[in-house]
Amino acid sequence: MRRLLIPCAAALFVTVSATSLVQCKKAPVAATTTADYELVGTVHDIMEEIVDPASDVLFDAVATEITAAGINEKRPRTDEEWAHVEANALILAEAANLLKMPGRKAASPGDQTKSEGPDAPELTADEIQAKIDGDRAKWVMYATRLQDQAKKARDAAKRKDVDGFFALGEHIDVACEECHLEYWYPNDKAARALYEQAKADREKAEQQQQQGGTK
């Protein structure tokens, strides 16, 4: 109960009015943050076990496959298939909240964040942790970018909008890559160059589309 009383007393000290009483009721919600939950997994675990599998479902949902048997336009067709895609978009959107939770560690001791070889460009878990702790607002911003795209993908799945959903796949991929370029392999020049090239290509395609649209 102590926790409930402190913010109330503080609110009442400022002004005794109807509004401060309302704030009084709301205050304990903000004050109970970390006690209400337990951080079970690390960022590493969440990537491997939640974010990656959920995003794979989204990336694979709409695709054009060229096989020996011909062209296969892959897309969700039944209500059940759309519901599966929608659910995975929700998993991804909510996973972004897991990433944002204060105190979440980058990795457990012994987790490998680097690829093989002496010149592996990835940072160590400690280096990633230091970057996250150094500017939490930035970390939250990158997680929110992913969340925004996942929410749009969920809406597109609800509408059963194949084209919209396909376009969002690319936006989700960009949100993954931008965070990885910042926190995981900021020294990987080849990855940065690929990202910049893809970005330039996207902007060019968008421009062409706009010009085509105004003709």
Q: DSSP secondary structure string, 104-136?
A: --S--TT---S-SSTT--SPPHHHHHHHHHH-H
Nearer to ligand HEC, 142 or 165 (CB): 142
Which residue type, as a one-letter code, is found at position 76? P
The CB-of-42 to ligand HEC minimum distance in angstroms stands at: 7
Nearer to ligand HEC, 139 or 165 (CB): 139
The CB-of-129 to ligand HEC minimum distance in angstroms stands at: 9
State how far the Cα of 52 lies from the Cα of 99, in Å rounded to an integer. 13
Distance, C-alpha 115 to centroid of its chain: 22
Nearer to ligand HEC, 48 or 60 (CB): 48
The CB-of-141 to ligand HEC minimum distance in angstroms stands at: 8
State how far the Cα of 55 lies from the Cα of 125, in Å rounded to an integer. 23
Torsion sign, CA atoms 48, 51, 57, 61: negative
State how far the Cα of 134 lies from the Cα of 61, in Å rounded to an integer. 37
- Contact footprint for ligand HEC (CB under 6 A): 43-44, 47-48, 51-52, 55, 99, 106-107, 111, 113, 125, 128, 139, 142-143, 146, 172, 175-176, 179-180, 183-184
Nearer to ligand HEC, 11 or 55 (CB): 55
The CB-of-172 to ligand HEC minimum distance in angstroms stands at: 5
